[in-house]
Amino acid sequence: MGPEPEVSERGNGGLGTLKEDSDGTIPGRMEAFNGLAEGSYFSDILQAKCGHYGDLPASKISELMKLGSLENTSTQSLFTVTNMILDECVEGKNENIPQRVASILKLVMQEIQDRVSKQAQNMRKQSTLYKSREERYQSKIRALETLATGTTEENEVVMNQLRQMKYSFSGPSDVIFLRQIEKTKIEEVLKLEQHDLTIFRQEKDRCESLILSLEEEIRLTKQDYEEKCFQLEARAEETKDKLLKKILELECLLTDSRNKVKELEDFSESKILRWKRKEHGYRHFIDSQFESLQDLRLASESIKQEVSKIKNVYAEEFYHFGVNMKGLIDAAQNYHSVLEENRKLYNEVQDLKGNIRVYCRIRPFLPGQSRKQTTIQYIGENGELVVINPLKPGKDSHRLFKFNKVFGPASTQEEVFRDTQPLIRSVLDGYNVCIFAYGQTGSGKTYTMTGPNATSVVDWGSTIEL
């Protein structure tokens, strides 16, 4: 019996080939999970790790979706692409990719689901194939056993017939010769049948060993399939959770981006409106300034005419002013002589009044002081002042003082200045004049000289007089 033919099962997901040799081994077991071919078109994108998936143009993404090149890409590569895109989106390396990412993620997730379903379907096909092969081998074994049993029974029947013929025939030698020839043929047939029986038994042993190896392979394959299905389900669930979480994050980022875009649009519109208002204001201002400029030009022309007219009038008036100035110069020469004589007479009057003058100013009561405590009894118009001393009895309690003038509590700064004004004018005539105040602390010296403010009537009045 020759070797069994190869059995090949390959789905769209790129599962490997199961090949059975004559000794019953399966070297290509479960290559579907590790031997997925990488598509040349999608591998170019995977190799571009230095860039960002968000930088892919929309045309390249649409071409990728139309060609369906993800079908030739390994599952591990699809998981790598998904994780890299989501990590890049969550880290905020590129704020412009959320709308592009949705199409890529949808395509990748659909491809992963198709890949898992195809792998499960192929595993079911392989399990069915193993079962059918096992049933076929079992039927062959039963047929061989039946054939071997029938051959043994036939040999026993032939041997019984030979023994009966041996005891029943005792004829001439030619009959014996014929019987020997038949016996020889029967023995040869028996040898051939025994040889075939040996071959059948060897084939049975080989089939039994092949069945055992196939059963072991099926058990290992089933165990490996279950483990990898469990791993794929766990990874798919984990990836699904991650994708859902990252999709939520991307939706939040997309919402924030849309809000920012809306805010920027509103800000741009308000800014444009402000600039339009400013432009309208500037245009209105320029128009008004242009009108003012026209008015200024007209006013300038009228001013030029007025200046020309004034020049003529000025020349005429200047001539009259020169004539009048000549008369004033003659009058001034006579005025200086009169002024000198007047000054001389003024100073003589001051000498007659006395070069030393003493004035007395009585300070009014401060707030809170009683008016009954006053020591002033009489203030005369010619400088007399009577003071009472309550500690001395009789005539000694009254004392009379004589000054050039006495200023009462109601006197103002202007009244004080009017009596000192003639002395201030003597400074211009070259006389040395000194005005000072003396008295006890709190008697009002500073108030009399400077007044309640920084510049009193005495201060700025003296300055004006000078």
Which of 217, 236, 269 is where one domain is finished? 269
In contact, 77 and 115? CB cutoff 8 Å: no
Q: 247 and 392, same structural domain?
A: no
Whether residue 97 lies inside any domain: the answer is: yes
Q: 235 and 363, same structural domain?
A: no
Whether residue 137 lies inside any domain: the answer is: yes
Binding residues: 439-446
Is the dihedral angle over the CA atoms 426, 428, 430, 434 positive or is it negative? positive
Q: 150 and 166, same structural domain?
A: yes
Range of the domain at 422: 412-466
Q: 405 and 420, same structural domain?
A: no
Q: 389 and 444, same structural domain?
A: no
Give the model's pLDDT for residue 2: 40
In contact, 73 and 115? CB cutoff 8 Å: no
d(CA 97, CA 253): 10
d(CA 251, CA 9): 42
Tell me if residue 377 falls in helix, strand or coil. strand
Q: 436 and 405, same structural domain?
A: no
| CA neighbor of 402 nearest in space, from 367, 363, 360, 440 | 360
d(CA 225, CA 221): 6
Q: Tally the domains of the chain.
A: 3
Give the model's pLDDT for residue 265: 92
Q: 436 and 387, same structural domain?
A: no
> What is each CA distance from 309 to 148, 302, 306, 314, in whole angstroms?
156, 10, 5, 9
Whether residue 8 lies inside any domain: the answer is: no
Whether residue 322 lies inside any domain: the answer is: no
Whether residue 9 lies inside any domain: the answer is: no
Q: 376 and 244, same structural domain?
A: no
Q: 401 and 428, same structural domain?
A: no
d(CA 52, CA 86): 11
Which of 235, 269, 303 is where one domain is finished? 269
Q: Phi/psi at 22 (nearest 5 deg)?
A: -70, -30
Whether residue 6 lies inside any domain: the answer is: no
Q: 424 and 372, same structural domain?
A: no
Binding residues for ATP: 439-446
Q: 417 and 403, same structural domain?
A: no
Q: 179 and 202, same structural domain?
A: yes
Give the model's pLDDT for residue 11: 37
**56 membership: H or E segment, kind and range:** none
* DSSP state string for 389-445: -TTS-GGGGEEEEE-SEEE-TT--HHHHHHHHHHHHHTTTTT---------STTSSH
> What is each CA distance from 115 to 33, 80, 124, 235, 274, in whole angstroms?
10, 15, 14, 13, 58
Which of 269, 286, 304 is where one domain is finished? 269
Whether residue 92 lies inside any domain: the answer is: yes
Positions of the chain with pLDDT lower than 50, given as ranges: 1-54, 64-68, 169-171, 457, 460
Give the model's pLDDT for residue 260: 92
